[in-house]
Structure formats: structure tokens, C-alpha cells
Structure 1
Amino acid sequence: MPLLTIGINHKTAPLDVREKVVFAPEQLNTALHELIGLPGLREAAILSTCNRTELYCNLQEVAADQRIIDWLGNYHQFDGQSLRPYLYQHTDSEAVKHAIRVASGLDSLVLGEPQILGQLKSAYSAADEHGTLGKHLRRLFQHAFAVAKHVRTDTDIGASAVSVAFAAVSLARQIFGDLGEQRALLIGAGETIELAARHLRGNGLREAVVANRTPERAARLAAEIDAKAIALPDIPQVLHQADIVIASTASPLPILGKGAVERAIRQRKHRPMFMVDLAVPRDIEAEVGSLDDVYLYTLDDLEEVVAENIASRREAAEQAEEIVAAQTEHFMGWLRSQDVVNLIRSYRDRAERTRDDVLHKAQRQLAQGRPPEEVLAFLAQTLTNKLIHEPTSALDHAAREARPELIAAAHELLHLPRDPNKQ
């Protein structure tokens, strides 16, 4: 019953490849049902963020991995084989270890960042809601969540405020120095933008505007950070006022094009504009980066910025990896135990049938007036003989057929001393 994870992330693929395989939230229902409908799949879940897309599966047959890759390409309308160089695959214990590392922030662009745990929980909830989870993936996700909490509690992996949003604000400080005279335009109203907004305010930002497709969400975030809220169509009216633009939406198409930014730069009389695109697919057209007086950074560009923050977390990460290794083996022990569940159930059922049969005979003897002491002796002797008959017969045959490994296994299973004189 192999577990399989197939994925693509910031380590294996550039942004222009990753953005081709993003699943928008509104696509998950269809995608999950298509995925679970592939031959050879028992369970499935999809994790899709700006830095990774991963398919978690429980397979009936190992050969299903090729069908999954082909499906991923077909769903996004391109040849799945072109993805092969960028994909990673993990099976069984490696799949378990990977899920735990992802949940714990050990596989993130920013080491130890906490946002991925919430995203993984959302992936779990979506799969659960759409009926594509079963016993094994459900247990895997729950175990990963518990270990992630353990890692965060028992190590310093999350001691400092490090995230992609924090890295973006750190870069803004490097460019502008004091942010007390700067204005920011925040496009989106999700968790990443909220974090960026709080970091900007914490660094003394003068003024902020929040633009979102849903004005109500923009208004809620704006109220929390003392900013102004606008709808996305109103961006051209305020873009020229922004010294800092940070975008992170789920839009399938760019929000800002080169022409709009060119007009804003002319209105600003060519004062520099710092722009960070944290979205996948991109919110800001790549051509904007070619404009004079515009400093455009994408997720991939932030790797150098976050590298400085990684160093302080490496020792904690080493401790976390020890926890991950131990908890991976713990889960694999549970997984292996599932292979004998039916065997144990069958063995217990047979023993209970034997017990009921002997008990019924003893009860008949009591009803016929036999002395209770005699009936109890019959019950004990008959039940013992019936329960040990097949194991002792098997041991006798093992000895006659020179199968010492079976006899050794009996010693271990039955906790019998190897020296018959030592009881």
C-alpha cells in the first residue's frame, strides 16, 4: 500500500515553470475528483502554494505514478513529460518524511516559516471535504501536524520573525533606508499581504493603501493597519503615489502591466519605485522589470535576502531533523502494523469462535446437572487443547522439516524460553 508524493517546488523549478502547475482554490474540487478517479489511486490530496505544488497519494499499484504525472500535465494543458526534469517523487518512508518536513517548515524557501503549516491544513481540509482522504493519508497529515507543533515548541526554528513577507520588507529597507517617508500599495488581502503590512507598519511606514478584488476584505485589512482600501480597478489612480508595491493575489492573470507602471513612473517624475511580486502566477508583468526607475523582485529573487536569516535557524533545524527522523519511523511502524490488522482480526475471530463453542458445551453440561467443578475442568482443558492444537502441530512439522527460523519466530512471538528448564 505505497504512499507517493509527486511535487515541484522552489528548489527544483524556476518561477515560470512553477506557475504553470498552480491549482487555484476554485479548481480543487474538480482536480481532486479527477485525480482520485485515476486507476490505481485510493486516496489523494493537493497542496498548491506560490512555492510548491504537491500531490499526496495512496496507491494500489506503484505504476500509477506515470498516470499521475500525465494527468498533472493534461490538467494544466501541456505535456506532462516536459515537467519530468523539475519533479521529485517520494515513496513510503521518504514520502512520510517529506510531509513532516514540509509541515515543520524545513523544506520552505524561508527555513522554519509557519505559513506552510496553515496551507497544508487547508489542503487536508479540502481533500477531506471532497471525500478523497482515507485512513492512511488522514493519519499522515494529522501526524505531520502534530510533529510540526512539536518542532516549533521544542526548538528555536521559529524564534525570529522570518517569512517571504518579512524578506520583502527587509529589502525595501535596504533600498529606502528609513520607511517613515514612504507610501505603500498592497495588492491582495491574504495572509502574505497581511504579514507584509504589519512588517511595514512596524518599520514606521508613512501610509498604505490596500487593493483587493473583494473590497470588503480590503477594508477589513485596511482597518487593522490604519490604511485606505480600494478595489483593483482603482489601482491606476493611486499607483503613482506608491514608493513600495507588494502584490500577492490568486489572480490567474497579471494585475499590473508594463503600460500602467510606465504612466505611473512619468507621474512620479521618475522617482524610483520598489515592487515585489509574491504571487504565482505573477501579478506584475515580467516586462515591468525592464523599466528605468523600477526595482522589481519576484519570489525567486528573494532567495538571497532570506539566506542571511537562514543561518540563525540552522542549528534549530538540525534538532528538528532529529525529531523528524524519529517521528517518520514512528509513523512507519504504524503503517507496517496495518499490514497485519486483518491477520490479527482473523486470528482473534477464530479464537473467539473456539471459546464460544467450548463455552456452549460447558453450559449444556451444567444444564444437564454435571458438577460445576467437573464442568470448569472440562472447559479449561478443552479450550486449552483447542487453542494450542494448530500452533503446536505447526511447530512439530517445522522441527521435522528442519525449519529453525519458524521455531525461532515462535520463541519470539510466544515469549517462550529457549531453555525448557527455565520457565
Structure 2
Amino acid sequence: MALIALGLNHLTAPLDLREKVAFAPEATPGALSDLARQPGINEAMILSTCNRTELYVETDVGAESAVQRWLLDHHGLTGHRLDEFLYRHEDQGAVRHLFRVATGLDSMVLGEPQILGQVKDAYQTARSAGTLRTSMERLLQQTFAVAKRVRTDTRIGANPVSVAYTAVRMAERLFANLADACVMLIGAGETIELAARHLAESSVRRLIVANRTLENAQALAGRFGAYAIALADLPQHLADADIVISSTASTAPIIGRGLIENAIRARKRKPMFLVDIAVPRDIEPAVAEVDDVFLYTVDDLKQVIDDNLRSRQAAANEAEAIIELQVEHYLAWRRALDVRNPLAALRGEAEAQRDATLDKARALLASGRTPEQALEFLAHTLTNKLLHAPSANLRAAALRGDVELLRAAEALFDPGSNGDKSV
């Protein structure tokens, strides 16, 4: 078996390509089922966020190329278009990569905690789709344990930072006092909830939450004293917003140039600051061409994010050491799956020899031999058969000077030791 992690992220691929390979949440279960049906693929999980799309797959030996072939076919892309942006990790490298992703060491914001929740969501989706078995189930459980230990034993999360946090801090740079600003949040997922929390802590003057489902917007707005609207009512309220932060799962832009031009006219050219942290994008790139509008995407946040890296680097080094140890623990467990249980093998061989020898003893009785002759044959033959392999192996060990094996055999075959020489 081979464990493979295949994907692209904010470090290897531009935003427009990441949009093309992203998986919408509602489409992921079907994609997983299709992936798991490919010949040679035994287990699969898809992790798709605003910064990465990754496939974690266990395949039969010789079927490793099926993963990339499926990704290309599923999104209608050519290998030439995608090859230079993809990364691929196998076995030990795949385990290490997943551990680093889950602990935030591979994130745009070093150590950010949001990715762990996204990995857990991907895990639950794969479980529900029935595409996980023993090997990857164990891997994911160990991943969560590693992430928890890193959070507990290092200061990787001492200064909370996320894409949402960074977006809010950038807004503060352009608006000296958020207490004078009206902010519109579009979406109702975890990223938007994090942004709402940061904005509430900054005592923003007015907060509007817009979402396709009004009930979800109302639930989020109620927690932060905000005003909820349906996405369909966006044109009537957009001009009120000094700052717009958008993160939805829409597969097409929900804010176009015309909508922003109308809002700017209604604001009498008062500037607007927009942050689009969705992939695929929620805001048309052409919006950036409108005067008095400042549009930023997730890639534009990188400069702000880089300012936070230095304070987390020492903790990241500690986390890497924890991860290396846990990678070996998982691989040792995985190797054990392929090792024959020696006790079971020994018992099976002994029982086979017993049955064969017993059949011959019965045949001796049937041929007229006395019970005593049959018993002597049984005892002598069975003893020789059971001792033959270990005796030959011990003689060979003595000839090559394998003291370790000889001592292990002494402890194993000493009938009075019970494995404890201290008594």
C-alpha cells in the first residue's frame, strides 16, 4: 500500500488556478465516492479550503498515478496546466505533511487554528461518504492528537492570528478608528464568525451580516449585536458599508462591478474597503478598477501576515520536533500491519504438525502396531518437528555470533523465568 498526499496551495499556485480545483462543500461527498471507486484506490479524503486543495489517498502499489489523473479529469484540466503547481508526498512525507497542515505549520498564517477545524470537517465528510478504513482512520485520529499536543506544549497559538484576524487588522490600518465604521460581513461560516468576533472586540460602530439564508445570518448577527439581511437585499444596503469582508461557498461572484459602482455613487465617492477571502472569489476582480474602491484578496493579505511570522517561528521549531516523533510512531504502527504475528504463525505451524503426526500414529494403529509403538512414534516425531526450526536457527545464530538472538532465546525458552529474571 502507498499513502499519497497530492495538492496545491497558496505557496505553489495562483488564486485563479486554486479556484479551478476547489471542491464546493456540497459537491465533495460525490467527488469522494467517485475517487474511491477508481481502480487501485482504497481510501480517500479531500481537504479544500480558501488556501489549498489536497487529496489524501491510500492506493495499491502501482496505482499511485491514478490520483492525479482523477483530479485532472474531474476538473477538466490538462496535465501541462497543473503539473508545475502540484506537490506530491508519499508515505512518510504524506504523514508529515498532514500533521504540519493540521497544526497550522503549512498555513499562510503560521500556527493559525482554523485549519484544524477544516481538517476535522474533511474527515467527517470522508467518514460519511464511507471512503475511510483502518489505516487512514488511525492517521486522522493521530493527526488530531498531534495538533492538540502542539497547541498544549508550544506557544504556536499564543498570539491568535487568522486570515479573518488579518483582514480586520488591515481594515484598521485604513480606518484609524473602527468605532466610526460600518462593516458588512457576507457569509455565515467560521471565517466570517471569526471576523465578527474580532470586529466586536474593536467596538465597530455598526455590523451587518448578509447571507443567502436569512436565518443563518440572524443567528450569527444575534451573537454580536449585528443587523442581519438576506443576500438578495445586498443592493439596498451595500452603500452603507465602509468595509466589506466576504467569505461564502458560492461558485460564482456575488458582487460585480456594476453593484459597486452604484454603491460608490450613493456614497458620494466616499471610499470603500473590500476584502474577498473566498475561493472561488466572491467579488469580481474588475471591482478593483473602480475609483475610490480598495479590493484585497487572500493573496494580498500575505504582507500583513508576514509581520506575524517571527513571533511564532520558535514555537514552530518545537512543533516540528513533536511532529517528527509522531510521524515515526504512526509509521511503526503501519509497518506492524504488514508483519506476520509470530505467535499466531508458531501456533498454526505447531497445530499443523500435530495433526499430521497424529494421522500417522492412527495409521500405525490401523496397520496393527501396538498403542505403545504408536505413542512412542507420536512423541518422538512431534518433538523433533517442533524443535527442528528453532534448533537450526539457534545453531546458525551461534555460528555467526548473534548474541542478542541467543539471549532472547534463553529468556524465551527458560521454563522457570516467566519473562522476569528479577524474581
Quote the residue 1:324 is aligned against. Answer: 323
Label 1:233 to 1:358 Cα distance change in 2 as closer, same or farther (>3 A).
Answer: same
The residue aligned with 1:52 is 52
Answering whether residue 267 of structure 2 is matched by residue 274 of structure 1, we say no
Match status 1:153 vs 2:152: yes
Q: Aligned in 2, Cα 1:143/1:381: closer, same or farther, shift over 3 Å?
A: farther
Structure 2 spans left out of the alignment, 5+ residues: 359-374, 411-420
- On the 8 A contact 1:104/1:148 being kept in 2, the answer is yes
Indicate yes or no: 2:238 matched with 1:239. yes
| Alpha carbons of structure 1 residues 200 and 74: separation in structure 2 relative to 1, 3 Å | same
Cα distance change on mapping 1:151 and 1:354 into 2, 3 Å = farther
What letter matches 2:13 in structure 1? A
Aligned residues of 1:181 and 1:206 also touching (Cα < 8 A): yes
Match of residue 370 from structure 1? none
Does the C-alpha gap of structure 1 residues 102 and 206 become closer, same or farther in structure 2, counting only changes over 3 Å?
A: same
Q: Secondary structure at the match of 2:111?
A: coil
Equivalence for 2:417: none
* CA distance, structure 2, for counterparts of residue 344 and residue 285 of structure 1: 65
Q: Which amino acid aligns with 2:117?
A: G
**What do the CA deviations read for 1:153-178 (whole angstroms, capped 9, x no partner)?**
00000111100000000000000011
SS at match of 2:273: strand
Q: Percent identity?
A: 54
CA contact (8 A) 1:74 1:80 kept: no
Query: Counterpart of 2:242 in structure 1: which amino acid?
Result: D
Q: Does 1:76 align with 2:75?
A: yes
Return the letter of the residue paired with 2:31: A
Q: Work out whether residues 397 and 406 of structure 2, in 8 Å CA contact, stay in contact via their aligned partners in 1.
A: no
TM (normalized to structure 2)? 0.87
Partner-residue secondary structure (3-state), 2:180: coil
Give SS of 1:349's match.
Answer: helix
Aligned residues: 398
* 1:71-112 alpha-carbon deviations (Å, 9 max, x no partner): 112111222441110000000111110111111111111111
Q: Which residues in structure 2 correspond to 1:23-422 (within 5 Å)?
A: 23-62=23-62, 64-341=63-340, 345-351=344-350, 386-396=385-395, 398=396, 404=400, 408=402, 411-412=404-405, 415-416=408-409
SS at match of 2:268: coil
Gaps of 5+ in 1: 360-374, 418-422
> Deviations along 1:36-93, whole A, 9 cap, x unmatched?
111221111111111111100111024x333221211211122244111000000011
Q: C-alpha separation between the residues in 1 aligned to 2:156 and 2:249? A: 29
Normalized against structure 1, the TM-score is what? Answer: 0.87
Q: Residues of 1 paired with 2:199 and 2:190: CA distance? A: 14
Q: Given the superposition, is the C-alpha separation of residues 351 and 298 from structure 1 closer, same or farther in structure 2, using an over 3 Å criterion?
A: farther
1:392–1:18 Cα change, 3 Å? same
Contact 1:72–1:80, Cα closer than 8 Å, also in 2: no
Pairwise CA distance, 1:393:
3.0
**Any idea what the Cα deviations from partners look like across 1:169-225, whole Å, max 9, x if unmatched?**
000000001101100110000000000011011111000111111111100001001
Shift of 1:138: 0.9
- Matched residue of 2:104: which SS? coil
Shift of 1:349: 3.1
Name the aligned partner's letter for residue 329 of structure 1.
E
Distance apart, 1:11 and its partner CA: 0.7
1:391 CA displacement: 2.2
Amino acid at match of 1:104: T
How far is the alpha carbon of 1:411 from its aligned partner?
4.1
Does the 8 Å contact 1:261/1:288 carry over to 2?
A: yes
Deviation at 1:329, TM superposition (A): 1.1
C-alpha RMSD of matched pairs (Å)? 2.8
Q: What corresponds to 1:364 in structure 2?
A: none
Aligned match of 2:12: 12
Deviation of 1:350 (Å): 3.0
Cα distance in 1 between the residues matched to 2:108 and 2:354: 60
SS in 2 for 1:31: helix
Quick check: 296-305 or 342-351, which moved more?
A: 342-351
Structure 1's 352 and 195: CA in aligned 2 closer, same or farther, altered over 3 A?
farther
Aligned to 2:368: none
The amino acid of 1:240's aligned partner reads A
SS in 2 for 1:208: strand
Q: Does the 8 A contact of 1:257 with 1:288 survive in 2? A: yes
Q: CA deviation at 1:345?
A: 3.7
- Amino acid of the residue matched to residue 390 of structure 2? P
